[in-house]
Chain A
């Protein structure tokens, strides 16, 4: 069974790109338009990996990660932050919130596949 990835981003183009890229690499991908939507979708299904943007309306990436980590299903699921902010402060906040890693935007599809493969195979 294909591994499932939840991609959370308020930008439709990024979502589409991530989704297309990962689907072409054989993953099943579900899109969510912001943290709130991501949380809802994460509740409805257990994903193997969550990719989230940081800056989004309604609920940002860090809050999403914290909320997910509070759920038993997502205690161990890898969560990657896809973010344009790569400052140390952002990283330590991400780490503290429970993110597994980060990937700096802009990134190319190849790299995304590569990182996802490393994380969930």
Chain B
């Protein structure tokens, strides 16, 4: 029965990624001088777990790295060596290498074999330096790094020689010669030991097929069995059986020894097969009863009492189960698979029947892993359901509410249920922002070392949840902002000291919800933005600036394309990606960036993002025959203009005076060139919008209603249109465009900057 291991890969990938993230967090938090014992244990366990499962699933390269890492951590854990900064650094690098290897196995990018080998050597050197007399983790373990699953640094070769028995010695000689061209060969069992079976061990880079090709010349094809030699399995796993078992060359000879022990179940003989001498091939073994300890009679009594009776069930099973020595292991397993319960363990089985209540669910860890596609599909379906529900509601709005009372009530119920369903489905995708924040301790650690600055990172509101897709997309822009704060915002310790500030700078990351938005702030207590320098730079770049600009507007300049105030392009920030890209990326997510700064006190960058990208609360408005959606978050108020409120400037542009404030007017029918719209101010509606701290009034024909709409990308289905953020399908099946309010307001402002 072949089990396809690849079906477990996904779980392994996620698990390994979790362990790696956990490892990194622990490493960053740990103080090498006084490490917490539990933390060191957790570190070791993480490495250990990755090693165990990567080996099992055939990710040899990852196993090799974790093996050495584990070896090193084990020494620390056992108190044999102190934890050093160097170890923490090396472990962090190892974590990065493992992430890279993991990503490569997932098919995301190339494995950096050089880095993997380098870290293996570094860790080995660290291990060796711990104790020069003791042998460190075998260097051969890391000598070969392979990316192919189920590849090994060597193989165990089992086969029977074919042809005339008298020629065995000669054939074997040729074979050994041939094999030695691939690597070091060790003869563990040869025909000279009796029988015609051979067992060779080869340490080689060649693959199993190549070796099989060589063996085919001299061996009986069906008898060839090639097993990868796994580094962790070396030594111990193969060192359990006596030479007799080996001479037989059956790799699974253990049970032949058992009946013997079983036939005479004498305590003294219980260890007959548990021999520590000789090379064996079994990676597993069985303990028997505890040995009597004659020097301590009390102990002996206890050991007799707790002798577990292991032998009996096993012995009873064995006579029926033991395959003849000729049966290959695979055949043996097949022959017994599906066989009825052996009588030997019947007592246990009946006990189980009597006492066993229904078993608990297999895994009740409280969460399940579901692929994102499944969740997305569900969200899409719920989106469609919302549209259908809206359609029904609209269709029912024309019926007589008295006659169709039950229908109307049912629809109201449906609306509530749909909304609840939608909310809970959306919440599945929600992730705490700590997923993003957790990477910053590392970023800051690496960067502050490089820049020679002292930084403390504070995070606030890590449990704030946001949509998974936003989490993924916000990571890069946020990283850039943090790097910027560290590089340009915070001063060097000397400068800080002379400014009377503590040498240790602070970067604060905070996240919170605010009126349907998630707000993420990156703050530093650095020097603040330099208004004069920004203005000078902007002039130099030929940007349209004036000294009367508000601070807000000046700060926004640094997010314009091609603007960079850093006199020297540093290694950290000067990578061609500027604030303009950050702004663009965040805008693409439907978010906005704001900057606040005070000289000498610090800078705060505020990123506002919608909670989700999929659904929006909107106000539908009519202009001529068309319907548009205004995201509700931008709507301040709507009013019917009176003639006296309208003001004109230079005869063309219009302003409306609302509560003493003059707002530019945007005529939606002009923006989208709609025929048949109302042009008489007093007959239409003004919707006052606010975006980016600026207001404008949007002139439309009528208000239709308030809806939750499912956002469909216009870009993906058509193309990007200035002033349109997306589209949605209305209850009647028609498409309505969603307005990009900040762009519209910005357009109005640019046309008449003086109006502000």
Partners in one complex: yes
- A interface residues (Cβ-Cβ under 8 A, vs B): 1, 3-4, 10-17, 19-21, 24-26, 28-31, 33, 41, 44-48, 53, 55-57, 69, 73, 75-78, 80, 84, 86-88, 91, 94-96, 98-111, 113-115, 117-121
Chain B residues 320 to 341 lying within 8 A of chain A, measured CB to CB, are 321, 329-330, 332-333, 336-339, 341
The docked-state distance in angstroms from the alpha carbon of A20 to that of B57 is 14
Q: Of the listed stretches B48-56, B192-200, B502-510, B554-562, name the one at the interface; the rest are far from the partner chain.
A: B48-56
Tell me whether B15 is interfacial, beta carbon within 8 Å: yes
Main secondary structure of the interface of A (DSSP, over half): mixed
Please, which residues of chain B bring their CB within 8 A of the CB of A94? 287
B359 touches A76 (CB 8 A): no
Q: How many A-B residue pairs have C-beta atoms within 8 angstroms? Tell me.
A: 207
The docked-state distance in angstroms from the alpha carbon of A113 to that of B332 is 11
Given contacts A76-B310, A84-B232, A86-B237, A26 and B57 within 8 Å (CB-CB): no
B308 touches A31 (CB 8 A): no
A106 touches B321 (CB 8 A): no
B329 touches A95 (CB 8 A): no
Q: Which residue of B lies closest to A105 (CB)?
A: B52
Q: Which residue of B lies closest to A23 (CB)?
A: B362
Please, which residues of chain A bring their CB within 8 A of the CB of B359? 4, 28, 30, 41, 44-45
The docked-state distance in angstroms from the alpha carbon of A96 to that of B45 is 23
B342 touches A120 (CB 8 A): yes
Tell me whether B352 is interfacial, beta carbon within 8 Å: yes
The docked-state distance in angstroms from the alpha carbon of A99 to that of B288 is 8
A78 touches B313 (CB 8 A): yes
- B interface residues (Cβ-Cβ under 8 A, vs A): 1-3, 5, 7-8, 11-12, 14-15, 42, 44-45, 48-49, 51-53, 55-58, 63, 230, 232-233, 235-237, 252, 255, 276, 283-287, 290, 306, 308-310, 312-314, 317, 321, 329-330, 332-333, 336-339, 341-342, 344-345, 348-349, 351-353, 355-357, 359-360, 362-363, 365
The docked-state distance in angstroms from the alpha carbon of A114 to that of B334 is 9
12 sample A-B contacts, Cβ–Cβ < 8 Å, listed by A number: A1-B353, A12-B15, A19-B362, A45-B360, A55-B45, A57-B42, A57-B45, A78-B314, A84-B232, A86-B283, A98-B306, A119-B286
| Neighbour of A17 across the interface among B8, B49, B306, B321, CB < 8 A | B8
The docked-state distance in angstroms from the alpha carbon of A7 to that of B705 is 58
A76 touches B349 (CB 8 A): no
| Neighbour of B232 across the interface among A19, A41, A104, A114, CB < 8 A | A104
Please, which residues of chain A bring their CB within 8 A of the CB of B7? 20
Q: Which residue of A lies closest to B284 (CB)?
A: A103
Q: Which residue of A lies closest to B44 (CB)?
A: A55
Please, which residues of chain B bring their CB within 8 A of the CB of A4? 352, 356, 359
Please, which residues of chain B bring their CB within 8 A of the CB of A87? 236
The docked-state distance in angstroms from the alpha carbon of A10 to that of B45 is 10
B1 touches A10 (CB 8 A): no
Given contacts A17-B56, A86-B237, A55 and B48 within 8 Å (CB-CB): yes
| Neighbour of A114 across the interface among B310, B317, B333, CB < 8 A | B333
The docked-state distance in angstroms from the alpha carbon of A14 to that of B5 is 11
Return B506 CB to nearest CB of chain A, in Å. 34
B1 touches A25 (CB 8 A): yes
B52 touches A75 (CB 8 A): no
B1 touches A113 (CB 8 A): yes
Given contacts A1-B353, A15-B363, A46-B355, A121 and B339 within 8 Å (CB-CB): yes
Given contacts A84-B55, A113-B333, A118 and B321 within 8 Å (CB-CB): yes
Please, which residues of chain B bring their CB within 8 A of the CB of A41? 359-360
Given contacts A103-B283, A106-B233, A115-B284, A44 and B45 within 8 Å (CB-CB): no
A30 touches B362 (CB 8 A): yes
B230 touches A118 (CB 8 A): no
Please, which residues of chain A bring their CB within 8 A of the CB of B341? 1, 3, 121
The docked-state distance in angstroms from the alpha carbon of A95 to that of B290 is 7
A110 touches B56 (CB 8 A): no
Return B19 CB to nearest CB of chain A, in Å. 9
B287 touches A86 (CB 8 A): no
Return B461 CB to nearest CB of chain A, in Å. 28
The docked-state distance in angstroms from the alpha carbon of A38 to that of B643 is 79
The docked-state distance in angstroms from the alpha carbon of A117 to that of B255 is 12
The docked-state distance in angstroms from the alpha carbon of A46 to that of B338 is 21
The docked-state distance in angstroms from the alpha carbon of A118 to that of B52 is 24
Q: Which residue of B lies closest to A32 (CB)?
A: B363
Please, which residues of chain B bring their CB within 8 A of the CB of A17? 3, 5, 8, 56-57
Given contacts A16-B8, A121-B317, A102 and B284 within 8 Å (CB-CB): yes
Return A53 CB to nearest CB of chain B, in Å. 8
Given contacts A25-B337, A99-B287, A103-B284, A73 and B3 within 8 Å (CB-CB): no
Please, which residues of chain A bring their CB within 8 A of the CB of B11? 12-13, 16
Given contacts A13-B15, A57-B42, A73 and B51 within 8 Å (CB-CB): no
Q: Which residue of A lies closest to B322 (CB)?
A: A118
| Neighbour of A24 across the interface among B3, B52, B230, B290, CB < 8 A | B3
B308 touches A104 (CB 8 A): no
- If A24-B1, A26-B337, A86-B237 are given as contacts, then 15 extra A-B residue pairs at C-beta distance below 8 Å, sorted by A number, are A11-B52, A16-B11, A17-B56, A44-B357, A46-B348, A57-B42, A75-B306, A76-B312, A98-B290, A106-B56, A106-B57, A114-B333, A117-B333, A121-B317, A121-B341
A45 touches B352 (CB 8 A): yes
Please, which residues of chain B bring their CB within 8 A of the CB of A80? 284
Please, which residues of chain B bring their CB within 8 A of the CB of A104? 232-233, 236-237, 283-284
The docked-state distance in angstroms from the alpha carbon of A121 to that of B356 is 20
A14 touches B42 (CB 8 A): no
Return A58 CB to nearest CB of chain B, in Å. 11
The docked-state distance in angstroms from the alpha carbon of A117 to that of B314 is 10
Q: Which residue of A lies closest to B49 (CB)?
A: A11
